[in-house]
Structure 1
Amino acid sequence: MIATRFRLTSLTRFGVLFDMLDPDFDPAKLEVILFPNPMLRYQAKPVRKVDLRLRKIIQRMFDLMYEHRGVGLAATQVALPLRMFVMNPTGDQGTGKEFVMINPEISRPRSNEEAEEGCLSLPGLHGNVVRSKTIRVNAYDRSGNEIKADFSGFEARIIQHETDHLNGTLFIDRMKEGAILEMAGELEALTTDFESRQRTGAIASNETWQALASDWEALYC
């Protein structure tokens, strides 16, 4: 049993002050964070338990993914330092298959292909990334059942993209240098906006994000 400790770190996001570690915290308040939030560079930690609150968080991640018309979403993209992600290759709620992957491990990568990718934390930006065509994944679902399966094509690409997130890697890190230079203006605009909102207190300081991550790790890792 992991002892809980609540630092009660308050964050202001979108003008709403709330406490993510309050026992009554509503996961509906979670939102997708944007580049260059430091949590997007965080090394997510393995999850050691799944409780009702974490299942609600997982459902909120699905809701956000569909709301933003994505096909995958990692926990670090909602500012949680937990090694898990959700995905639905169709991107449409009610169709396709939903996957929850907790503590994913990728092995047996085979062959490579290049394709365009985007990211909900880098809205409007796209670029070509080389990924393995086929991979094997070991993970757990939200019920604690083991997942051991081979994935290929688009599903394999999503899994690699989301697992990168859990390692603090963004798709832009895998793009060719020339392609990155072409989006330098957009990245600078995102950075300027983020830093401006931090100065006004609309977004928490980097130190607060780190403290929050430490508390979540104490709860679930």
Structure 2
Amino acid sequence: MKIIVSLFIFFCLSITTHAQRITKYERQLINSGKAEDKMRVTLTTNSDDYDILRRQSLAIRKTQKKIWTTLSKRMLVTVQHPDHKGVGIAAPQVGINRRLILVQRFDKEGNPFETLINPEIMAFSDSLHARIEGCLSIPILRDTVTRPWMIEIKYQDIQGTVIQEKLEGFTARIFQHEIDHLNGVLFTDRLYKK
């Protein structure tokens, strides 16, 4: 019986993140402005936004590259906008429950932003590190979060190339924070409960 229940749970989870075609709503939201226009950031203080932020995000299909490139460009404008000045952003933070994030790479020369499609963490280090975090979707709160120091990650870049790499330090933290958003997890869920 336990095996059947486990298989059922696994099946349900795999359906929720399985790639589906882009919806009409998603297409309209992404195309509601030009590539150089920022998008509205979803906030935990808005109940509709909160529901979006708490949902499991769907995988992205490679066949729809143009729309995801447009989303990536608009997310970059949003995260770099003077109102925000973030180091990462996830698609749910602009109202799109898809597995796409942008992260600033402090481990690379020039600290570029990169787009990651369908990212997944393959391994975590046992070594943990505590550091103050903030979030564009929770603008009034910053607090200390403990996370693994090193992760091994697998993702596709915007061209569809599969990449697997090890990251550590602040860059690994940004990746973990943004991937949490794809799983409906906020950094406040990871705060130490006294």
**Structure 1 length as normaliser, TM-score?**
0.67
Give the deviation of 1:31 after TM superposition: 1.3
Residue type of the alignment partner of 1:51: K
In structure 1, C-alpha distance between the alignment counterparts of 2:70 and 2:23, rounded to whole Å: 20
Contact kept, 8 Å, 1:62 with 1:87, in 2: the verdict is no
Q: 1:41 aligns with which of 49, 54, 57?
A: 54
Give the deviation of 1:153 after TM superposition: 0.1
Give the deviation of 1:146 after TM superposition: 1.1
Give the deviation of 1:51 after TM superposition: 2.4
- In structure 2, the partner of 1:21 is 28
**RMSD between superposed Cα atoms in Å:** 2.3
In structure 2, C-alpha distance between the alignment counterparts of 1:165 and 1:3, rounded to whole Å: 21
Give the deviation of 1:137 after TM superposition: 0.5
Residue type of the alignment partner of 1:99: E
Secondary structure of the residue aligned to 2:140 is coil
Moved over 4 A (4+): 2-5
- In structure 2, the partner of 1:165 is 181
In structure 1, C-alpha distance between the alignment counterparts of 2:167 and 2:43, rounded to whole Å: 28
String of CA shifts for 1:7-57, please: whole Å, max 9, x gaps. Answer: xx5xxxxxxxxx952795435362111114211101001101342222111
Q: 1:143 aligns with which of 159, 170, 180?
A: 159
Residue type of the alignment partner of 2:117: I
String of CA shifts for 1:73-121, please: whole Å, max 9, x gaps. Answer: 000000101001001145xxx9412211111110221111111100000
Q: 2:68 aligns with which of 54, 57, 67?
A: 54
In structure 2, C-alpha distance between the alignment counterparts of 1:34 and 1:84, rounded to whole Å: 18
Q: 1:106 aligns with which of 103, 121, 141?
A: 121
Secondary structure of the residue aligned to 2:28 is coil
Contact kept, 8 Å, 2:145 with 2:187, in 1: the verdict is yes
Give the deviation of 1:3 after TM superposition: 6.6
String of CA shifts for 1:96-151, please: whole Å, max 9, x gaps. Answer: 12211111110221111111100000002101111000000100011101111100
In structure 1, C-alpha distance between the alignment counterparts of 2:145 and 2:22, rounded to whole Å: 40
Contact kept, 8 Å, 2:38 with 2:77, in 1: the verdict is no
Percent pairwise identity: 34
Which structure has more RCO (C-alpha within 8 Å, separation ≥ 6)?
A: 1
- In structure 1, the partner of 2:10 is none
- Relative to structure 1, the CA distance from residue 132 to residue 22 in structure 2 (aligned partners, 3 Å threshold; closer, same or farther) is closer
Q: Which ranges of structure 1 fall in alignment gaps of 5 or more residues?
A: 10-18, 179-221
**Structure 2 length as normaliser, TM-score?**
0.76
Contact kept, 8 Å, 1:113 with 1:133, in 2: the verdict is yes
Contact kept, 8 Å, 2:104 with 2:111, in 1: the verdict is yes
- Relative to structure 1, the CA distance from residue 22 to residue 148 in structure 2 (aligned partners, 3 Å threshold; closer, same or farther) is closer
- Relative to structure 1, the CA distance from residue 121 to residue 57 in structure 2 (aligned partners, 3 Å threshold; closer, same or farther) is same
In structure 1, C-alpha distance between the alignment counterparts of 2:102 and 2:169, rounded to whole Å: 17
